[in-house]
Homo-oligomer: A and B are copies of this chain.
């Protein structure tokens, strides 16, 4: 969170066009949570508004002495005092700022109390959507930047309208042919995954000491979700609309709370904390949006703290008298406020995530802490899906489900081919493949990752090449796309090497390496150290990196990254 850190909001070449589902944006910074490169993605309408204002990328540098916000109206950019907004939650901030600017159509990204209080789990919120992970909100807070408001009224044209129309039509056709995109995903969204991973015994529960009990499916699964769903929402230009708005109803103490929890949230505030009260998860998700917190890291940290408490490593004295027991939804929701406001005692202990908490507790934590490089685990037990797990280990952002999701293991996806989820064989190559595809065909063109997995896996690179070429006027081939995806992964890896990361950091927490899953369809499985070593060797080899995981001069030269090679050379790494 140093003053010299940059905070980069980047839309992509397709943003703002009528390309379906190209409404994403990345925020990139050096993550205070991992100290590695940090990328957080979000959709909605804020990303395209930047484009309509005439910009591709917004780079925030330096630091303000006092709270400010940025107001971009087309070519007019001003930096203004945010005294009025400081202390406000993200929903209030957006409402009040639009009123202040007399510009209801402005789109706003902002931090809440968590970002102001520099929680390393702080998110940046636009509407109810989050640039969620890696503490990007803390970086914004450290710059004393409360909000960025944008109103763009420019129109822009694509370079080759005929080619664009054709490519778009191919893409829409592939989307129609998807067996799940419209028929299931638009009606259920990501929460539908609860049932799949539970059935596979890899829906992690109680901080990974158990997995996917049947009662989670009953209480948090599809039927229970549908009961609470009031409707769905779409990002800009998306015909799918996977966001499911859910309202806590009936006799719940959380009655009236509304939010749109994703699959990952049902894990982090559900199974991970042992909570089966569906409405409390809607409320917890709402609190995180409001305070500007990453639901995933916060839930995993709370689950971790609960296991520490149950094992006597946190005491009532540490917890301000709160009983941090698994399944206690009152405590789970209360802790979110403690964290967001970095409150004395338990709030201060938990507010910077699992890695910092483990360091504070020191003795005896190793076997309970669930992160890679400081980034808390997503909702897939790596012991039940080894390429998925290898991605957590090797992704340049830490344990990140957005870098190299492995549908071949989890859903038996046929491209490039289905994989047995327990075997380590071939997973080095597959992980590289998944990371590269997602990077080049989703992240870089700011296309929604779900679309790639569910509708375009067979034409992902061709589609990207055709769409981006028609919009930009470049003449990209499938092979160019391959190259782009590798360039990003090599560049990011080099960033991390310069930040001090080594092969030793590409590893699982102790529990994954030593404790077999106790029950269910993945019972008995774990990832041995030998398996991990083998998969890592394979992965580095597939990338043409050294045994230490350092990009080779050959690979960097092939990718046209000679300047990156020079950086490594100066460090004595090449």
Contacts and interface: CB of A to CB of B under 8 A. Distances in A.
Interface of A: 83-89, 91-92, 95-96, 98-99, 104-106, 112-113, 127-128, 230-231, 233, 245, 247, 249, 251, 255-256, 258, 290-291, 337, 340-341, 343-344
27 contacts: A83-B231, A84-B230, A84-B231, A84-B245, A85-B230, A86-B230, A87-B230, A87-B249, A88-B230, A88-B247, A88-B258, A91-B91, A92-B258, A95-B127, A95-B128, A96-B245, A98-B104, A99-B127, A104-B104, A104-B106, A105-B105, A113-B255, A113-B256, A251-B343, A251-B344, A255-B341, A256-B341
A376 to B, nearest CB: 23
Contacts of A245: 84, 96
Given A230-B83, A233-B96, A233-B99, A256 B127 contact: no
Contacts of A291: 256
A96 to B, nearest CB: 7
A340 B256 CA distance: 10
Contacts of A128: 95
A95 B83 CA distance: 24
Contacts of A256: 87, 89, 112-113, 290-291, 337, 340-341
Nearest to A93: B258
A92 B248 CA distance: 13
Nearest to A44: B99
Main secondary structure, interface of A, reads loop
Contacts of A233: 96, 99
Contacts of A98: 104
A128 B124 CA distance: 24
Nearest to A258: B92
Max chain B Cβ within 10 angstroms of own Cβ: one of A89, A92, A233, A291: A92
Given A255-B337, A256-B337, 5 more contacts: A86-B230, A99-B233, A251-B344, A255-B341, A256-B340
Contacts of A91: 91, 95
Contacts of A230: 83-88
Contacts of A249: 87
Contacts of A106: 104
A89 B249 CA distance: 12
Contacts of A96: 231, 233, 245
Contact of A258 (B89, B99, B127, B337): B89
A86 B229 CA distance: 11
Contacts of A255: 113, 337, 341
A291 B258 CA distance: 12
A248 to B, nearest CB: 9
Nearest to A341: B255
Nearest to A151: B104
Contacts of A87: 230, 247, 249, 256
A289 B96 CA distance: 15
Contact of A104 (B89, B105, B112, B344): B105
Contacts of A95: 91, 127-128
A74 to B, nearest CB: 16
Nearest to A290: B256
A242 B127 CA distance: 27
A256 B290 CA distance: 9
Nearest to A96: B245
**8 tightest Cβ-Cβ pairs between the two chains A and B:** A84-B231, A104-B105, A87-B247, A92-B258, A104-B104, A84-B230, A255-B341, A113-B256
Contacts of A88: 230, 247, 258
Contacts of A84: 230-231, 245
